[in-house]
Structure 1
Amino acid sequence: MPKYLIQATYTAEGTKGLLKEGASGRRAAVEQVVSGLGGTVEAMYFAFGEHDFVCIIDFPDPVSMAAVSLTVKASGALHTQATPLLTLEEIDEAARRQVAFRAPGK
């Protein structure tokens, strides 16, 4: 299953909701959304700094990830960034593939 790193930052409205329902309430909401599309939450951590929380999730396909991303962003409660994650084996496979490429000016 494709794996994604999600980094999120709450808006003022989203932070008020977090304060009201707590971190465990948000974890339950994330797990419900992800599992509803056939995915799983591998890890979820709250942080401080540029991002308020990060999580690693698995989805059956990229369309499921896109559907969640669009819905969450439309809520206005947080800003998110989803980064596809690749295994070591996938990078090894990519490194073995021949790619015809000419650099600019060469």
Structure 2
Amino acid sequence: MTVPKYLIQAAYTHQGTKGLLKEGASGRRAAVEQVVTGLGGEVEAMYFAFGEHDVVLVVDFPDPISMAAVSLTVKASGALHTRATPLLTIDEIDEAARRQVTFRAPGA
């Protein structure tokens, strides 16, 4: 089994943008690295963006509970609005496709 991987999309609040301007992108990268590695994870990629999301990351965590802990703490700060999407490998989807699922569509 692979290590859980997540796509994190975040938008800074007014307060968070002030913090970014104060410490710069490299300061935020260092803060993210500290949080993720502190829970046994790894930052695979981190990019700043324009549009709906200000920052996009791909991170690995040893377990979903670690991702949940980070998500709760970041959201409680009020500095960011985030969305974490679990990412699955090709092999994981192939395995899922082989599993038998009994399902009845609504109204069928």
2:93 matches 1:87: no
2:24 partner amino acid:
G
- 1:22 aligned to which of 21, 24, 32: 24
1:63 partner amino acid:
I
Deviation at 1:42, TM superposition (A): 0.1
Residue 34 (structure 1) aligns with: 36
Q: Per-residue CA shift, 1:17-63, capped at 9, x if unaligned?
A: 00010000000000000000000000000001000000000000000
- 1:10 aligned to which of 12, 27, 33: 12
Q: Any idea what SS the aligned residue of 2:70 has?
A: helix
The 2-side partners of 1:69 and 1:102 are apart by 34
The 2-side partners of 1:104 and 1:15 are apart by 45
The 1-side partners of 2:107 and 2:48 are apart by 46
1:61 partner amino acid:
D
The 1-side partners of 2:65 and 2:104 are apart by 32
Gaps (5+ residues) in structure 1?
none
Structure 1 length-normalised TM:
0.99
Gaps (5+ residues) in structure 2?
none
Residue 51 (structure 2) aligns with: 49
Residue 60 (structure 2) aligns with: 58
Count of matched residue positions in the alignment of Structure 1 and Structure 2: 106
Deviation at 1:103, TM superposition (A): 1.1
RMSD: 0.5
The 1-side partners of 2:101 and 2:54 are apart by 39
2:29 partner amino acid:
R
Residue 101 (structure 1) aligns with: 103
Q: Any idea what SS the aligned residue of 1:105 has?
A: coil
